[in-house]
Structure formats: C-alpha cells, structure tokens
A and B are shown apart, each in its own frame.
Chain A
C-alpha cells in the first residue's frame, strides 16, 4: 500500500489516520492511565497544587490498604477494606458469570429457534425482543423494583442475575441469530439424515461450529454485567450482592475522598475484563463478523 512509497496525498492520509488512532487511544486509555497513576501516588501528593503526570514517589500503600489486615489513613489506624472489597469482588464475579452463562445458554437455543423453526409471528416476536434494547433502564426501574420485592429477590444473586439476563439477552439473541443464519443448513440436514434429532444436532453439530459467536456473546454479556452500576445500586443494597462498581464509590467518606484507594480498587476491578478480552478478542471479532462474508 501507500505506506512503503508514500506520495504526498498518501502521506497526508497516513498522518491523518495516525492522528485519528492516537486520539482514539488517548481517549480510551487516558482515564485508565490516570487511575493507575493516581493509585500509585502518595495521598499528600494527590492533593498538591501542581498535578503530576507521573507519580513523583511511587507508592503501593493504597494497594496495601486494600489487601492488608489493617492500615493507616490520615495518621489513624483503620480497619482494612479487604473484607468489603473481596466480598464485592466475589459478588461481581458471581452475578456476571451467572448472567453470562444463563444469557448465552438461552440465546444459543432461542436464536436457533428464531432461525430454523417456522412458527407464526416469528419475525415480529424477534423484533419485539430486540426492540426492548431501546428502552432506557431507568424507565423500568420502579416497576421492576416492585416486582422484585414481591418475588423476594431484592439483594439476592438470583434476582440480580435474572435482571442482567433479561437486559442482555436481546443483544445475545441478535448476535447468535446472525451466527446461525450464516451457517449452511446442509450440515444440519446431513446430521438429521445420519439419524440425529433437532436437539442433538444443535448441541453436537451447530454449537461447536457456533463457538466463536457463543464466545463473543459471552464476552459482551460479561463485560456489560461487570460494568453495571444503576441496577446493583438499586437492587444490591448490602454486601450480600453489592458488586465492585457500587462499592468503590462508597470509599468517599463524609470529610475525605480517598482517591488513592478508589483508583487502586478500580485498577484491580478492570483486570478480569481486560484478561478476558485479551485472550478472547479474536473470537469477539470472528463472532461479530459472522455472516459478513462467505
């Protein structure tokens, strides 16, 4: 391409592209870097007049306060936040993984039905399901809250997982539908003639081939669930189910905002999604691209 022997126009285009990418990278990574730098800066330097791009004296005291048995804050020895932090981490994991498994399992079967089974109103039903993605979460919050109270599901794993599943299922269904539509039906027909029933064909032939799509759906659901704030803020009042996203802002006390601790906790909280994306992003791309080409 023009990268090797760039003419004037080519060079300009290249520079413009590089600039655009740089802006995009700064836009996405800037806040993460700022959080990382803050988590490594001493509390007194955090509130100094001149902001520091690099921590002047790297310190791990905020991380020590997260993990340690007890710690010193503003000259006082205080209880460690580890019990809260670890409980919230577990809550985040349980609700996110639970919602991911449930969502992907339902999407895997549901989307197959939308693609391969013929029933009246199939397309209208699908459009209705997908259309729910356009409804803002806060408009259903109050009726949902009343419903969850009646069901006794406030502050329970089951309740949170069900809410997440209902919220993320439409996207996963949509994705899996595209994946199935791109698969040649001849494979399934061959399996039927080989003696397989519908479910067996789906589980043994279709799902293994739809793996990139399933992984993409799982990844999107997990990331969405992991980053949820409004739903758990309302439905997870106690540490029984409170996730990291709700716990971390609570490090703000009446007369002190513990920026270092908040940012250290935030950096730890983004590790699971980052690890997932790094290892599974190739499936994310191939899954989302299903049907885009032959």
Chain B
C-alpha cells in the first residue's frame, strides 16, 4: 500500500507533447480510474507510473520517494496488461511465482504464496496448465494472480477487461473491486468504459488530450461535471446540450434556447447576455403533466428504442438533437410531439467560451 503523487508530469514524443502538466494525488488503498477516449494519454500515464515510458518532465513519487529514475523492476509496482502478457512457456503456477523466484524467495515459500493467490481467484485447479489451455477469463485471473502474489505497493490495470465478453466483464468487475477492497492495495485502473470506472472506483480521473478535465468521486463527476467535455463524456446516452443565452427575468436567472425560456433554480453569477451551454441528462427528462409551472421542452420523437429496462427516445428539442430515457412504458410513438420537463436541480449550465461549469 502506498500513496502516489504526480506533479507537473509531462510526456513528449519528439516535439509532440501528449501529457501536459498533469497533477494527481492518489491516497493509500484508493481505487482510482483513469478514463478518457482513445489517445487521451491514459495508458501513457499509467506506463509512466510503471516506468515503461520515460518521463519528459515533472515528478512521480511513491510514498514520498521520487521514482522518476527508478527502473521498473525496482518500483515494486505490479501491472495487469490488456492482453494479459502471460508467459506462454510457463505454467500458471510458474507465471504466478515468477516474480517471487526473481526475488530469491525460497521454493518452499513460493508454492504456498501461489496457492493462496490461486485459491483467492479460483485458479487452484489450473495451476499446472499453460496459458493457451485457459479461457479468456481464466487468463485474466492468472494475470491478476501474478500481480497480487508478490504483494506490491501499487497495482496498475491497463484496460484488463476489454478482451472479455460482456457477461464476464460484469462478473470480473465486481471480482476486481472485491479483491482490491480485501487486499487494500492502491490500484490505478485505466479504462475507456465509463461503467467500469463508475462502478469500481473511489475516484475517477477524466482525461482529455493529455490533460485532466476533472477528478472526483464517480457520482460527483456525474452530478456536477466540471466542464462541457466531462458532461458529454460521462453518462450514457450522453447529456443533451443546447446553445443558449443567459438572461434575467423578474430578478431571476433564465436561459433562452431559441424561443424557449427555462428558469434556473439559482441566480447565476454570470452577467446577462452570456452565451452558455445548457445541459440536461436524458434520464432526468420526464413527460410533463399539464399545468405544473416548470419548464416544458417540446420534443419531436424521431425514433423509439426499447432496451428492455428502459425506453430511449431520440428526437429534437427545437432544432437540436436530443435523447430522453424513460423507465416506464409511456406509449409514445415515432412522429409524436410530446412535452418533457425536468427537475431544475438537474440542469447544468456551462460557459460557452471556456466550457467551464456555471451552475
């Protein structure tokens, strides 16, 4: 268990900088997910922590010790790779015990350590097998077993579930979370799958083009996205966003979207006339009943997609494409014009020019 402190970290390939001044603190025993689209630098960041990518600038410290120049083998960090990277010519037991053998642990001590990790992961029957004789899920577990058997200070997981099928992914998700809680080891997890990041993490780090956009607890990031990028990236289907103008009406702040005027729950500090982006999540939209005083969004239904648990309606509010998600069976058909509403506390407002959150 260890803390990880990253300060002003930079990475450049030649003149192209791909990580720009990243600062991040990870507490002891924390489960932190790095999430972002492909090419946002999340894997590069992880590999820099592992020591597999040289650092261009800044500092990484582990428990207060700067490890910039420490070789990967001396960092006491274990990593689970996307393609597992199991040694094909070694058995499961040899794969898992490899790091202990390198540390000159006595043979008599390696076997019980491997056994214990194998029991924890349900791998005991497969210890004598070779990786090619295992299923994808079992290989994944061996990769994890290899990481946990040596009790490192930090685990790094690089998209470990992306090669598994959907069902197994859900199962492994909870297994990894449970395992990490039991071991209490600091874990940094890279994923492009926001469900993985949301369900497993203590803390989510949203990355975009080599910069951290927001750090926070999963629900905080979902409830109060710091900017337009995070708002559109976190949540599925993505948040509906509308170009709007901030106005004042009767001493209260309102936003104007074309002809539609939407009152805000609190007065915004931004001046009237500011160009803004107004956001509301599809799952916060509901059918408006007649006569309640809240804002009503006229919604042209273009497409109704039942997913089983819910109903996704794709359409337009004004001229802007929008999505609404209902849990019930509202009996809406394609081509209908319906009116939607939402709790003003679920509104999001961002500055149009900076993209930063206003309300």
Q: A117: shortest Cβ distance to chain B, in Å?
A: 14
Counting CB contacts under 8 A, is B87 at the interface? yes
Question: A187 to B86, alpha carbons, bound, how many Å?
Answer: 7
Contact B78 A200 (CB under 8 A): no
Q: B274: shortest Cβ distance to chain A, in Å?
A: 49
- The contact string, 1 if C-beta is below 8 Å from chain A, for chain B 130-158, is 00000000000000001000100000000
- The contact string, 1 if C-beta is below 8 Å from chain A, for chain B 85-114, is 111110000000011001100000000000
Kindly state the interface size class of chain B when it binds its partner: 20 to 34
Contact A189 B85 (CB under 8 A): yes
Counting CB contacts under 8 A, is A121 at the interface? no
Contact A189 B89 (CB under 8 A): no
Contact A190 B81 (CB under 8 A): yes
Contact A196 B81 (CB under 8 A): no
Contact B81 A205 (CB under 8 A): no
Contact partner of A184 (CB less than 8 A), chosen from B51, B52, B71, B85, is: B85
Counting CB contacts under 8 A, is A193 at the interface? yes
Contact B99 A194 (CB under 8 A): yes
Question: A135 to B48, alpha carbons, bound, how many Å?
Answer: 45
Counting CB contacts under 8 A, is B298 at the interface? no
Q: For residue A196, which residues in chain B have a CB less than 8 angstroms away from its CB?
A: 73, 102
Question: A187 to B87, alpha carbons, bound, how many Å?
Answer: 7
The chain A residue sitting closest to B79, CB to CB, is A193
Q: A32: shortest Cβ distance to chain B, in Å?
A: 38
User: Do most interface residues of chain A lie in helix, strand or loop, or is the interface mixed?
Assistant: helix
Contact A187 B73 (CB under 8 A): no
Contact partner of A186 (CB less than 8 A), chosen from B72, B83, B99, is: B83
A189-B52, A200-B102 in contact; A195/B73 too (CB < 8 A)? Answer: yes
Question: A191 to B101, alpha carbons, bound, how many Å?
Answer: 12
Counting CB contacts under 8 A, is A208 at the interface? yes
Question: A193 to B85, alpha carbons, bound, how many Å?
Answer: 12
Contact A205 B87 (CB under 8 A): yes
Counting CB contacts under 8 A, is B77 at the interface? yes
Contact A192 B81 (CB under 8 A): no
Contact A194 B102 (CB under 8 A): yes
The chain B residue sitting closest to A189, CB to CB, is B52
Contact B146 A194 (CB under 8 A): yes
The chain A residue sitting closest to B149, CB to CB, is A194
Q: A185: shortest Cβ distance to chain B, in Å?
A: 9
Q: B95: shortest Cβ distance to chain A, in Å?
A: 9
Best-buried of A186, A197, A205 by chain B (most CB within 10 Å): A186
Question: A209 to B73, alpha carbons, bound, how many Å?
Answer: 21
Counting CB contacts under 8 A, is B239 at the interface? no
Counting CB contacts under 8 A, is B50 at the interface? yes
Contact partner of B98 (CB less than 8 A), chosen from A184, A186, A191, A209, is: A191
* 25 contacts across the A-B interface (CB closer than 8 A): A184-B85, A186-B81, A186-B82, A186-B85, A187-B87, A189-B52, A189-B79, A189-B81, A189-B85, A190-B79, A190-B81, A190-B87, A192-B52, A192-B73, A193-B52, A193-B72, A193-B73, A193-B75, A193-B78, A194-B73, A195-B73, A195-B74, A195-B103, A196-B73, A208-B89
Known: A189-B50, A189-B85, A190-B85. 10 other contacts (CB 8 A): A186-B85, A187-B87, A189-B79, A192-B52, A192-B72, A194-B98, A195-B99, A195-B102, A196-B73, A208-B89
Interface residues of A (CB under 8 A from B): 184, 186-187, 189-197, 200, 205, 208-209
